[in-house]
A and B are shown apart, each in its own frame.
Chain A
């Protein structure tokens, strides 16, 4: 009965039935009943406020520090949806891997064939994933002001959210070019129909501003917060990304400044045994990994990478998995690329093979062990992690920045440090800038093989470099002997459904 305004009902009942009430002596009993009619009107506060008892309304959240910590956790978690597409854009699309032929109906086929339509689901999913991370980050950034969270922590959380936002826009701008920009929570839904594409420069300015703001995050953290900062945006992580952004923009001086600061002051070092980097259970068991997206062997937090990278119909690779489809064969290593790994290269030991019987044929497929989770009982639910940033990247980026900045000789130290860890000797001296450019591209391919880097790395070196590298590879490709990359393919298409929803303001990339 509380809904019916208990106070007024009680009042009326008292008046009606308490005959000792002196009021009753003077007031017609029935007048009271009529009054009952009108008291209902007097207590309508909150009667119409009903929120879903089964779910939680986000109006009720975003107040306490716990709320915002959970909201940030969601930001990091949302990066999974982004990085799970990075192998497709970077490795499937290039000379690293091919798609198992029994998976030809999959959307990945378009990438394997280097012929991505605007209707591709990967194109749409990645777009949505990046904007989800941005929306979650914007919710934190917009709503934390004025919340119960202490001002110091507000700053830390805001900086973390800005890192997430910057990383997401960086992915968007590298894949699609200039994209619609949202700097805060969307409160009027009409806005999403009206906002058009920003320029590439605009997006980069926004990314750099976010990362610059967040770069001093370590100094804002309390010692308690600092002790638990692994896996989150730290100053090192933010700076490494900032260096990557500068490099991508060909702003070499800023790249050099940012990255040399890291190399000098971060205390990071290369892990001696590359295999240790890919421990499914503990991504931070080394001093090299800076940020990894961590997966667990439980429903809701599990990793798809083990299943995706193992050959289709393979069995016995995962000892605890009984079924004969350990893998889905989405990222089978191109046999022709194997020759690039010299025999003494430690990184070659991260590649293994499986012989699969298909009909009358036995076919040998090569796969990466970077995403192997030997303890999983189901290939689709592994703990294999995805490394976003590690120190080797910092070293190679720095070498690249120096080389591009006409300091080719200065690059040797850093590329050789990475080669040395792989068990390889130093590069021959006296490389020209172009030779060093090739060497760096090659080194990055071997180092970040199937880590979602290849396409970005090639396109950074220019469309000509991208076309030259890939178009010369295609004749040797396992699946794609007659593919080619053309100029317009420097950028991927915008999702057709999204363009259809706002055709006036969302213009498709040229060529699509």
Chain B
């Protein structure tokens, strides 16, 4: 609690502000020099309770409780000595006597000043000593003059502040005095005068000593008093990492938070899940709040990591409930960097890196593949065609992975400035990030700028502006992943990554005449009838670029009419727009009909289009906060507020498909191409347009009360009432309450002798939040007014043709949000001189009224299914964060951070007729069945497949055991799971689950003098995946390449114990069905980040006239220990996003890259 300053000293408003801030930040080294107008009472009673405290804390506490001011010189105290005092309502003098005895000092009371003196000091006080005038100049580290710095003679009330030029002149300074220089945000300095009359000082920025504060939504709370589960991630934990997205840094660093890079394309953002999957069909995406603005994951991903000050993650429902209907999957609060007062300081950050694919998949080379082909012809009893009857060396030997992967650069630069000028504090930064993909032709480039401006209009009123603007240019390829020869977005075979695995090695990238080597073209035409496109050609000839612009701005106002009472209001707006254009060049257009290539450009099948999209939103919110400490023991903090938000999205697409081009301008290919077949739709004869438009609105009132008693018992309660346009009028308003409490056991008197416990807190919470991540209009009944019905011809007396009004979806007036209730029990402990810090949580998270599609009896006449609240799910978990300071000495330190998360998921109810929901694993191909299932009573996303027993080795086996799809000897034998003597989809059996049993992370940081080393390891255990893109590789056929492991395990005549089918020119049996050999354990341990840094010593920095200089080298994704066969055990082709609940399927995703970086960080 702050003291009331009736008559400020020095008599200057600006300084008063700074003084108050100093108090706030607990800069204890400065004497407090205030004169009070109020008379004191000698009989003041007070209570004190300290354990192992610094004497300064004790004195501070007395100052806080009384009107007394202590004046003393630091040297009279032995600060290493700890104080423990316990006074309950004792007289001031009595306490003072006791303390002075303990501290071995004398005291003298003058009016309200208590002068403390060393016992030996019998010479009286310095105030009477001979003195002279001292003057000088104060500058910041950049050398710029620093106005407003307080300069006082230590132990006296004699002080002044520096003028605009940073100059000061102080009279009557004793020759042996010490001057104290202090300024908010800077380290205080004490300089002994020793007879000098001119003393110039350079102030250094303050970096330590501030108690950790976490954002809790509409306000902050000190971590010590937190009652809920909130994790904080600070900028310095990620500044050095070569990450393109802030979420990349989370991996393994925060328990309960999963950040999976399931699709590694440049510019893509990891999928973040807080405390597991909270939903099946609605999204499991957390709510993002960036500087108070509600944002989506795109906007979150567009933030440059270097602009971020901190990220606070609200994990339990009690913490999130203040965000109501959108907090069901947790909340991520992002705070960007804010301005610091003082002269402008600049910082330049540069990271340059090279990246490569983390691993390559072992497939057959030319010689092995040719031997497989020859074996296949022999197995099938077909004469080997002359084409293959040549020496191996006459064929190409292409490693397609080498052809599509590349070593590519990564660059990230940031220049920022922060400082203050007059009443304005500012932070501005410009960033550039250039990420060339490790797959040919892909890239993402991002330019961004962000800034913060605070203007203190008067002591009570502050206004500010925060903005973030970015422009991203990306080239990706929509057919990068995808199943088999399914169509990509352009009518071109999809699945480039997987096709690079099975494209035959004997096809050259380019043939002798310069054309792309293609299946079904030239000499290969008779032997490869599958319509895959050459992966290199596919990457080069499908052009697909995005230009994305993201602007977020927030204007806010803070008004404090009285101490402790504040009104906060803000208006923020975000606009995210994108422009996408794509086309398939005439050298690939139509793929194989007719055969496009350089020598045969097919103009009329160019497929092109463009989309313009825009999402804009604005939020207006306001809240009142009242903070007060009553009778010293009771601290209350109440907020009440209101918010409303509108979000609207629109997009327009214009495209021309193959055959819409017309052929008229194709006479002169080159000319026509240059002038007409531009990468846009303009050349098309027929352009089709489409558009989309949707919007939603929220209106909310919320309130929260935090109460603490003696900083020992904490209690929090909050409510939010949310109205959402997404729901039927009757179900539109939801109520989201939360309560939580904490007990700081370490503050109890019975703990004061337990020396090894510095801090011990128990927390518990209960809260309700919601999830509304699904379509904006799901409850509404709609009509289709587009059809026509003709009664007959008008001449025969009918009314001719009329429009039809057909109800197309049915209204669901009961539709409401998914409700998440969560109980959390946790503890925070700091032990052994704060060297061991432990946070542990246990939670039970129940999702009620899960939104799923329910089958509706057709008797309703309108729809066969309805989006409805029909399921329940539970996630139970434990989270551990253990932070230890293993070694701490002057020159060397070693800290370790260990995180561990175990979540048990159970789908408790699925109210469909079967209690089951099934998903295809990326393919609806025959025999594949539904590999991913959600079954009542089981964990969500169970994997089902046929269990491969081996291969049919004898006719006897063939006759006696059920076989699938007319299997022959050498074909795969499938377990007849239900023992009905036939093999069909009823024989699919559970083979694992997609969600991991537990995940973990380990971060070690070593510091030796100016050198530091950080190693981040993360891992996951127990999850399985359906690697459905290996389906083609399992065919063991003459049209595709295969994995080395499949090849080694193939059936060969006269051999036993193999699991893969025999080599053949065609696909017999069920070899490509949903087999257990497509299911892989996706457990991994990964060396995620290694960073070695060197800070230039201060001495050298000063010589170079810079504030700081740091060099670093790093590696991301150094090594992954796993049995996973492809590139990325985290790969998730469907991400489990809303509506496409498939999960745990890898259809051949963009690989993870290993990035080697060097970085420079210069502040000046």
Known: A48-B723, A48-B732, A231-B791. A131 touches B807 (CB 8 A): no
Residues of A within 8 Å of B956, CB to CB, are none
Which residues 851-898 in B have Cβ within 8 Å of A in the complex? 855-862, 864, 866
- In the assembled complex, the Cα of A3 lies from the Cα of B855 at a distance in Å of 37
Known: A34-B567, A76-B791, A193-B857. A136 touches B807 (CB 8 A): yes
Q: Indicate which residue in B559, B694, B793, B807 contacts A284 across the interface (CB closer than 8 Å).
A: B793
CB A35 to nearest CB in B, in angstroms, measures: 10
Residues of B within 8 Å of A495, CB to CB, are 858
Q: Interface centre among B794, B856, B858, by most A CB within 10 Å?
A: B858
Q: Is A152 among interface residues, defined by CB-CB distance under 8 A?
A: no
Judging by beta carbons under 8 Å apart, are B559 and A33 in contact?
Answer: yes
Residues of B within 8 Å of A281, CB to CB, are 793
CB A436 to nearest CB in B, in angstroms, measures: 35
Residues of B within 8 Å of A182, CB to CB, are 859
Q: Is B966 among interface residues, defined by CB-CB distance under 8 A?
A: no
Judging by beta carbons under 8 Å apart, are A227 and B797 in contact?
Answer: yes
Judging by beta carbons under 8 Å apart, are A58 and B781 in contact?
Answer: yes
- In the assembled complex, the Cα of A77 lies from the Cα of B803 at a distance in Å of 10
Q: Is A338 among interface residues, defined by CB-CB distance under 8 A?
A: no
- In the assembled complex, the Cα of A500 lies from the Cα of B858 at a distance in Å of 12
CB B99 to nearest CB in A, in angstroms, measures: 45
Q: Indicate which residue in A189, A292, A500 contacts B913 across the interface (CB closer than 8 Å).
A: A500
- In the assembled complex, the Cα of A276 lies from the Cα of B791 at a distance in Å of 18
Judging by beta carbons under 8 Å apart, are B855 and A52 in contact?
Answer: no
Per-residue CB contact flags for chain B residues 793-819 toward chain A (1 = under 8 Å, else 0) read: 111111111111111101110100000
Judging by beta carbons under 8 Å apart, are A131 and B861 in contact?
Answer: yes
Q: Is A343 among interface residues, defined by CB-CB distance under 8 A?
A: no
- In the assembled complex, the Cα of A34 lies from the Cα of B620 at a distance in Å of 13
CB A318 to nearest CB in B, in angstroms, measures: 21
Q: Is B557 among interface residues, defined by CB-CB distance under 8 A?
A: yes
Judging by beta carbons under 8 Å apart, are A131 and B860 in contact?
Answer: yes
Known: A50-B776, A282-B792. A232 touches B799 (CB 8 A): yes
Q: Is B1049 among interface residues, defined by CB-CB distance under 8 A?
A: no
Judging by beta carbons under 8 Å apart, are A74 and B858 in contact?
Answer: no
Q: Is A73 among interface residues, defined by CB-CB distance under 8 A?
A: yes
Known: A136-B807, A285-B796. A296 touches B694 (CB 8 A): no
Q: Is B515 among interface residues, defined by CB-CB distance under 8 A?
A: no
Q: Indicate which residue in B622, B624, B729, B858 contacts A40 across the interface (CB closer than 8 Å).
A: B622
Judging by beta carbons under 8 Å apart, are B862 and A135 in contact?
Answer: yes
CB B179 to nearest CB in A, in angstroms, measures: 40
Of chain B, the residue at the smallest CB distance from A234 is: B797
Of chain B, the residue at the smallest CB distance from A76 is: B789
Q: Is A410 among interface residues, defined by CB-CB distance under 8 A?
A: no
Judging by beta carbons under 8 Å apart, are B805 and A61 in contact?
Answer: yes
CB B1158 to nearest CB in A, in angstroms, measures: 49
Judging by beta carbons under 8 Å apart, are A67 and B569 in contact?
Answer: no
Q: Is A59 among interface residues, defined by CB-CB distance under 8 A?
A: yes
Q: Indicate which residue in A132, A189, A229 contacts B812 across the interface (CB closer than 8 Å).
A: A189
Residues of A within 8 Å of B694, CB to CB, are 52-54
Known: A30-B559, A48-B732, A55-B784. A71 touches B805 (CB 8 A): yes
Of chain A, the residue at the smallest CB distance from B912 is: A501
Per-residue CB contact flags for chain A residues 114-155 toward chain B (1 = under 8 Å, else 0) read: 000000000010011001111110110000000000000000
CB A488 to nearest CB in B, in angstroms, measures: 23
Judging by beta carbons under 8 Å apart, are A41 and B792 in contact?
Answer: no
- In the assembled complex, the Cα of A4 lies from the Cα of B789 at a distance in Å of 43
Which residues 462-512 in A have Cβ within 8 Å of B in the complex? 495, 497-498, 500-502, 506
- In the assembled complex, the Cα of A304 lies from the Cα of B644 at a distance in Å of 53
- In the assembled complex, the Cα of A51 lies from the Cα of B809 at a distance in Å of 13
Q: Is A47 among interface residues, defined by CB-CB distance under 8 A?
A: yes
Judging by beta carbons under 8 Å apart, are A4 and B620 in contact?
Answer: yes
Judging by beta carbons under 8 Å apart, are A228 and B799 in contact?
Answer: yes
Q: Interface centre among A44, A53, A62, A133, by most B CB within 10 Å?
A: A53
Q: Is B80 among interface residues, defined by CB-CB distance under 8 A?
A: no
Per-residue CB contact flags for chain B residues 548-582 toward chain A (1 = under 8 Å, else 0) read: 00000000010101000001010000000000000
Q: Is A24 among interface residues, defined by CB-CB distance under 8 A?
A: no
Residues of B within 8 Å of A77, CB to CB, are 787, 789, 804, 806
Place the interface of chain B in its size category.
Answer: 35 or more
Which residues 40-87 in A have Cβ within 8 Å of B in the complex? 40-41, 44, 47-59, 61-62, 67, 69-71, 73-74, 76-78
Residues of A within 8 Å of B782, CB to CB, are 52, 55-58
Residues of A within 8 Å of B858, CB to CB, are 124, 127-128, 131-132, 495, 498
Which residues 688-741 in B have Cβ within 8 Å of A in the complex? 692-699, 701, 723-726, 729, 732
Per-residue CB contact flags for chain B residues 770-786 toward chain A (1 = under 8 Å, else 0) read: 00000011001111110
- In the assembled complex, the Cα of A131 lies from the Cα of B858 at a distance in Å of 7
CB A169 to nearest CB in B, in angstroms, measures: 12
- In the assembled complex, the Cα of A3 lies from the Cα of B571 at a distance in Å of 13
Q: Is B790 among interface residues, defined by CB-CB distance under 8 A?
A: yes
CB A501 to nearest CB in B, in angstroms, measures: 5
CB A2 to nearest CB in B, in angstroms, measures: 10
- In the assembled complex, the Cα of A177 lies from the Cα of B866 at a distance in Å of 28
CB A194 to nearest CB in B, in angstroms, measures: 10
Q: Is B1084 among interface residues, defined by CB-CB distance under 8 A?
A: no
Residues of B within 8 Å of A3, CB to CB, are 646, 697
Judging by beta carbons under 8 Å apart, are A52 and B776 in contact?
Answer: yes
Which residues 819-870 in B have Cβ within 8 Å of A in the complex? 855-862, 864, 866
Of chain A, the residue at the smallest CB distance from B799 is: A228
Q: Is A36 among interface residues, defined by CB-CB distance under 8 A?
A: yes
Q: Is A192 among interface residues, defined by CB-CB distance under 8 A?
A: yes
Q: Is A274 among interface residues, defined by CB-CB distance under 8 A?
A: no
Judging by beta carbons under 8 Å apart, are B792 and A195 in contact?
Answer: no
Known: A70-B804, A127-B858. A229 touches B797 (CB 8 A): yes
Q: Is B631 among interface residues, defined by CB-CB distance under 8 A?
A: no
CB B791 to nearest CB in A, in angstroms, measures: 3
Q: Is B9 among interface residues, defined by CB-CB distance under 8 A?
A: no
Q: Is B667 among interface residues, defined by CB-CB distance under 8 A?
A: no
Judging by beta carbons under 8 Å apart, are B798 and A231 in contact?
Answer: yes
Q: Is B382 among interface residues, defined by CB-CB distance under 8 A?
A: no
Judging by beta carbons under 8 Å apart, are B787 and A135 in contact?
Answer: no
Q: Is B618 among interface residues, defined by CB-CB distance under 8 A?
A: yes
Of chain B, the residue at the smallest CB distance from A133 is: B861
Residues of A within 8 Å of B808, CB to CB, are 55
- In the assembled complex, the Cα of A30 lies from the Cα of B799 at a distance in Å of 68
Residues of B within 8 Å of A283, CB to CB, are 792, 796
Judging by beta carbons under 8 Å apart, are B793 and A54 in contact?
Answer: no
- In the assembled complex, the Cα of A232 lies from the Cα of B798 at a distance in Å of 8
Residues of B within 8 Å of A124, CB to CB, are 858
Q: Is A335 among interface residues, defined by CB-CB distance under 8 A?
A: no
Known: A33-B569, A76-B789. A47 touches B856 (CB 8 A): no
Judging by beta carbons under 8 Å apart, are B862 and A228 in contact?
Answer: no
Which residues 130-164 in B have Cβ within 8 Å of A in the complex? none
Q: Is B238 among interface residues, defined by CB-CB distance under 8 A?
A: no
- In the assembled complex, the Cα of A24 lies from the Cα of B812 at a distance in Å of 50
Q: Indicate which residue in A48, A56, A69, A189 contacts B783 across the interface (CB closer than 8 Å).
A: A56
CB A421 to nearest CB in B, in angstroms, measures: 20
CB B187 to nearest CB in A, in angstroms, measures: 36
Please give me the 5 A-B residue pairs with the lowest Cβ-Cβ distance, nearest first: A135-B861, A231-B791, A37-B622, A284-B796, A228-B799
Sample of 11 further A-B pairs with CB below 8 A, known A3-B697, A301-B790: A4-B620, A30-B559, A41-B701, A48-B697, A52-B694, A61-B783, A127-B858, A189-B866, A192-B856, A229-B799, A497-B913
22 A–B contacts, CB within 8 A, in A order: A44-B644, A48-B725, A49-B725, A50-B726, A50-B776, A52-B782, A53-B695, A54-B694, A55-B782, A56-B785, A61-B805, A70-B805, A128-B858, A136-B861, A189-B860, A192-B860, A228-B791, A230-B796, A231-B791, A232-B799, A294-B798, A501-B913
A residues with a Cβ closer than 8 A to B are 3-4, 30, 33-34, 36-38, 40-41, 44, 47-59, 61-62, 67, 69-71, 73-74, 76-78, 124, 127-128, 131-136, 138-139, 180, 182, 186, 189, 192-193, 195, 227-232, 281-285, 292, 294-296, 300-301, 495, 497-498, 500-502, 506
